[in-house]
Chain A
Amino acid sequence: MIRTFVEFLTRIVVLIIVILVLGLIVISALYYLIGPILPITPSMLIRPQEVLAFTFALMDTDLFRITIFPGFTFVVIYAAFVVLWERKLLAKMQLRIGPLYAGKFEGIFQPIADVMKLLSKELVIPKVVDRFFFILPPILTVTVATAAVAVIPVTEMWVIAKSEIGVLVIFAVLAFFPLTALMAAWSSNSRYPMLGGIRALHQLVAYEIPLILSTLTPVVYAGSLNLIDIVEKQSDTWFILLAPISALTFYICSLAELERIPFDLPEAEPEVASGWLAEYGSMNFGLIMGVAVYIKLYVFSALFTILFLGGWLGPQPLPPEFWFIFKTFIVTTFLIIPRGVYPRLRIDLLLKQSWARYFILALVNLVVAATAVLGGFKL
């Protein structure tokens, strides 16, 4: 608690020292990682053209891909922007105003304000929890969500890992989410998280199979599990025209997998008090609800774009990167809109719907696609 000016100064000085030490460690580590691959010389300080050449060389390395563009920094910035967009959009839909005061124009600095607030809150860890497994889920959800980003191609060039089995990698990674929810629920040692965790387990598990089966239809049309191949096969016709039922199933199941309204039973505030997140506060909460959930939202939007909307393909003068991000953003908006409109489902209806309707809907379009492909339909 800061009461006097001296305490405030001490806190600031400690913070500066910590940042300096951490920065030194990071910079020296980076120097030893990049140094052997790319030439960094002190003469760069006086010759700007060398810095430009160095920057272009740096942009071609895996390190840049992992940390900046299709990787972590890009998705975090996308997530921060989507948080603001979601709040403004829902406010406009419900004739409210939304965030207004942070930043001069329409509250554009609200995400930064949110992060600052979460960072300055006390990290409460109750005594009754299993400490290790309580601290693990926030880190693990971010890790798992970002691992899925690694195989998503923004364009042919901008992809971290060019995997031949991209679709399967994404589903293998996404299968970890019920585990983290259950881990958080059980280790919290509290009633509401327990109920929420059980709900999360049922829901995530029930909607995974229709999701996987609806992904199979574009895979059958394209004849490949490679996400880049799937996009290139759509140069004439987008798969949303050939597989509309699968696209619809995928959309609904992603809503459920993302735990968004109308499928937000695991974190329903009036029923189970934020469910499996009830015991988390400060940056613990920020990492799950602010970072991981929105990275996951990006993953599903990007996957929908790649599978059904032709990925980065679009009219020529604009760059392919623009088309991919634009389409992904449109899909994200459609994933947000139900939150402003629909009430919540009941859990028995939720589970029955998944198995009795979406499972069969996914199979219907799969059989149609297989018949078409075997009947000589060529893309």
Chain B
Amino acid sequence: MSLVGGLKEMRSDLLLVLLTAGFATAASVIMLIIPLIIAPKKPNKPKEIQYECGQIPSGAGKFPLMMQYYAYLLMFVAFDVMSMFLFAWGISIYNVGLSGFLAVILFIGVLLITLAFTLYHAARRELW
């Protein structure tokens, strides 16, 4: 009873989202346990190593990789914060009115200039 009472008091959006996620976790864990019980087990050497289309693996997967498109990831870090800023303006659009709108137009203008500059450098793949 104490558990149920506690749940009823704490009933909020976040708790319901977490409960849904928790239920999905439990269901997927059960679905992973079933093959452990009913599926056959025949361990052999090729199953223990990496899969490379039937070839002998060319080595470990954790290797230094040339990130030619690294610049696009950096762009995300900057522009994601800016898009959230636009969200904050979007829902308060009635309150901030025309002056807020002009400020946001200016902001988007600066954003587009920055975008053009970063895109030019991101496309230069010899740089990365």
A contact residues vs B (CB 8 Å cutoff) = 1-2, 11, 14-15, 18, 22, 33, 36-37, 62, 66-67, 71-72, 118-124, 126-128, 135, 138-139, 142-147, 149-151, 160-164, 168-169, 185-186, 188-195, 198, 201-202, 205-206, 208-209, 212-213, 216, 219-220, 223-225, 273, 278-279, 282-284, 286-287, 291, 347-348, 351-352, 355-356, 359-360, 363, 366-367, 370-371, 373-374
Contact = CB atoms under 8 A, between A and B. Distances in A.
Contacts of B61: 185-186, 188-191, 193-194
B34 A119 contact: yes
A239 to B, nearest CB: 14
18 contacts: A1-B42, A14-B37, A121-B35, A122-B40, A142-B28, A143-B25, A146-B24, A147-B20, A147-B24, A149-B20, A150-B21, A205-B76, A219-B90, A279-B51, A286-B31, A352-B123, A359-B79, A370-B90
For the complex of A and B, list the 6 residue pairs with the smallest distance between their C-beta atoms, beginning with the closest. Answer: A146-B24, A190-B50, A161-B16, A147-B21, A150-B20, A127-B48
Nearest to A76: B27
A363 B41 CA distance: 55
A367 B37 CA distance: 57
Contact of A186 (B28, B57, B62): B62
A313 B11 CA distance: 29
A220 B90 contact: yes
B115 to A, nearest CB: 7
Nearest to A169: B17
A146 B50 contact: no
Contacts of B58: 191
A216 B65 contact: no
Contacts of B93: 220, 223, 370, 373-374
Given A123-B39, A216-B87, A273-B53, 15 more contacts: A1-B40, A72-B23, A119-B34, A119-B35, A119-B38, A120-B38, A139-B32, A143-B28, A161-B13, A162-B13, A208-B80, A212-B80, A282-B35, A363-B112, A370-B90
Given A139-B32, A150-B20, A151-B17, A279 B50 contact: yes
A287 B63 CA distance: 28
A273 B91 contact: no
Interface of B: 1, 3-4, 11, 13-14, 16-25, 27-32, 34-42, 47-53, 57-63, 65, 67, 69, 72-73, 75-76, 79-80, 83-84, 86-87, 90-91, 93-94, 97-98, 101, 104-105, 108, 112, 115, 119, 122-123, 125
A141 B79 CA distance: 25
B84 to A, nearest CB: 8
Contacts of B119: 352, 355-356
Contact of B29 (A18, A67, A121, A139): A139
A64 B65 CA distance: 48
A67 to B, nearest CB: 6
A219 B91 contact: yes
Contact of B72 (A122, A190, A206): A206
A212 B79 CA distance: 11
Contact of A201 (B4, B24, B40, B73): B73
